[in-house]
Structure 1
Amino acid sequence: MISAGDFRNGLCFEMDDQVYQVVEFQHVKPGKGAAFVRTKYKNVKTGSVVERSFNPNEKFEQAQLTRQDMQFIYADGDLYYFMDQETYEQTPIHQDKIGDGIKFLKEEMVCKVVSYKGDIFQVELPITVILEITECEPGVKGDTANNASKYATLETGAVVKVPLFVNQGEKIKVDTRTGEYLERA
């Protein structure tokens, strides 16, 4: 059992026969009255996000999630197939479970597949990935007066902003959470 006072980002708990994940929390101690925990949490199965205030002493059952490393093999329509690296069993996962990181998903990439009681609800990509630039305009020499950038298309089809000195054919490191260029690889 955990109390609402122990909430942290990413923590999963059970409430009303549903599993929720804390997205954001804030401990509030007003000048008058009792303290409370303002929380934004999402239903891990439906994805709906709710904001609510809890008494810090409210108790919840902590949800036991399973995180398993699986390798992405290929996509077929809306289904993305992942392989268990120990049993070689293939699991189809709908693209909705992958989220925005889908644009950085590359074949043979190892991801964490998160499930609760055997029901897959999320695929976590690595925080950073190295991808090749397949298309971008050449950099203009001498145009460094300000923090200028240009758009580049990556091998997965994603479009990111990169500095002017980066060229087509180079590999770059990208943050999958924000979609930002980090550095040359």
Structure 2
Amino acid sequence: MKINGNAIRPGNLIEHNGRLWRAVKIQHVKPGKGGAFLQVELKDVRDGTKLNERFRAADTVERARMDEVQYQFLFAEGDLLTFMNNETYEQITVAADLVGEPLPFLREGMTVTMEMYEDEPISVSLPETVVEEIVEAEPVVKGQTASSSYKPAILANGVRVMVPPHVESGTRIVVNTADSSYVERAKD
């Protein structure tokens, strides 16, 4: 689908110079002399290289169409992860770097959303939050509960998070997978 150069928004996938790019940042620029343009920072979906490009309103770019498919995580073998399509039961193996930062939160049997472009996996998105158990937390310092301070804790998967002072070892908490931040105590 063709779109105007000034219609690009952060997160959009576009085809440009024969490659697939994701728009990371955009900035409208109106110089004192000449026409306005859109300065776009693009990141290559496949190899992560970045490119800064200018698009005028008259320019057209091809917006890539992504399909989101639900997959279930089966197992990991080295740096390769195997998933199963929930509808067709076909298995697919992808590199672990498609998951990115939230990789430690990936569990067997977890349902994830995989973005596909022409039947090729582009990215893997975990659920927004997961429930994890704290295995190690520092003791509460007397008087620390008066202010809104946080203390470090280590989860069962080895990730370090900052938690409120009342949370102790053995407590199950809800963690945001995007930035490894504490959300709340688990309600189970």
* TM-score, structure 1 as length reference: 0.90
Contact 1:105–1:156 under 8 Å retained in 2: no
Q: Quote the offset at 1:111 in angstroms.
A: 1.1
CA distance in 2, matches of 1:35, 1:122: 33
CA distance in 1, matches of 2:46, 2:144: 48
Query: C-alpha deviations, 1:96-149, integer Å up to 9, x for none?
Result: 111111122222221111121122121111222222222222333431244322
The answer for the alignment partner of 1:160 in structure 2 is 161
CA distance in 2, matches of 1:95, 1:28: 38
Task: Say which SS state the counterpart of residue 145 (structure 2) adopts.
Answer: coil
Contact 1:20–1:44 under 8 Å retained in 2: yes
- Considering only aligned residues, what root-mean-square deviation do their CA atoms show, in Å? 1.7
The answer for the alignment partner of 1:63 in structure 2 is 64
Task: Say which SS state the counterpart of residue 173 (structure 1) adopts.
Answer: strand
Mean alpha-carbon deviation: is it higher for 24-33 or for 172-181?
24-33
Mean alpha-carbon deviation: is it higher for 25-34 or for 35-44?
25-34
The answer for the alignment partner of 1:100 in structure 2 is 101
* TM-score, structure 2 as length reference: 0.89
The 5 A counterparts of 1:167-182 are: 167-182=168-183
Contact 1:24–1:40 under 8 Å retained in 2: yes
The answer to whether 1:83 aligns with 2:81 is no
Q: Quote the offset at 1:163 in angstroms.
A: 1.4
Q: Quote the offset at 1:51 in angstroms.
A: 2.0
Aligned residues, how many?
185
Q: Which runs of 5+ in 2 are unaligned?
A: none
